[in-house]
Chain A
Amino acid sequence: MIDIAITHVFLISALLFCVGFIGVLARRNTLFMLMSLEVMLNAVGLAFVGAGSLWQQADGQIMFILILTLAAAEVAIGLALLIRMQHQRHNVDVDGLSKLRG
């Protein structure tokens, strides 16, 4: 449909990924970590779809669908854990979980 160098797509993807990664590393609020993870997953999805378009194959989109599934499952479990955490500890600070270390 459009004529863009694939490198640009990948660079955008990498950029989004890095932003998400920074969020995961920097935020202590678990909710924001989850959202950052979504950003990262999304960035990877972009890379797959871009690669799919490059070859004009469906595989890229299928990978994206799988990522979507993964994201759905992850969010379901992550939010459940978050609710549990809020219930028990009355905050969602991820560092507070370091008590669980072996």
Chain B
Amino acid sequence: MTLEWIFYFAAAIAFVASVKVVTGENAIHALLYLVVSLLAVAMCFYLLGAPFAAGLEVIVYAGAILVLFVFAVMMFDLQGDRQPAVFQQSWSATWLGPVALTFTLAILLTYILLNGTFDKGIEPGIVGAKQVGIALYGPYLLAVEIASFLLLAGLIAGYHFAKYSTQGEHR
């Protein structure tokens, strides 16, 4: 039973950290909360019997992507909301609409999930890196290729957009 409780506990941490990310004022703080959230989800992955995914979550997500965030924020001074006064709206005007919409969505999702036929529990067992690797380079080879193209496109686009233009801005 302990492990179950650890799972729920990690999920709670992920939720709280995510909320702090979404509502945060300071970009660096928010990023650190995001790291926490990711690590908590990695914990969940591990407990769900997916150690490989948990490792990737920590290494790639928290390790690489979030570091990219941190570097970008620090080097290019993308600090928090420093908006002019005219843009400032009241708390309710900012949050009421999105929360209402999302709440509707959440209720619908919950309704569907609770009325679903998922009577089966998760079987205790581990899907290891070996299994994942075999599947990845077997039936999913095409998907891997496509993903590589996506990364290449991301690379080129990132390089192009972020390049400092010496001939003035193209508007």
Contacts and interface: CB of A to CB of B under 8 A. Distances in A.
The size bracket of the interface on B is 35 or more
Contact of B22 (A22, A42, A95): A22
Given A39-B18, A42-B41, A70-B150, A84 B162 contact: yes
Contacts of A38: 34, 38, 61, 65
A97 interface: no
Interface of B: 3-4, 7-8, 11, 14-15, 18-19, 21-24, 27, 30-31, 34, 37-38, 41, 44-45, 47-50, 52-53, 56-57, 60-61, 64-65, 68-69, 72-73, 76-78, 80-83, 87, 94-95, 97-99, 101-103, 105-106, 109-110, 113-114, 116, 118, 120-127, 131-132, 134-136, 140, 143, 147, 150-151, 153-155, 157-162, 164, 169, 171
Interface of A: 1-12, 14-16, 18-23, 25-29, 31-32, 34-36, 38-39, 42, 45-46, 49-50, 52-54, 56-62, 64-66, 68-77, 79-84, 86-88, 91-93, 95
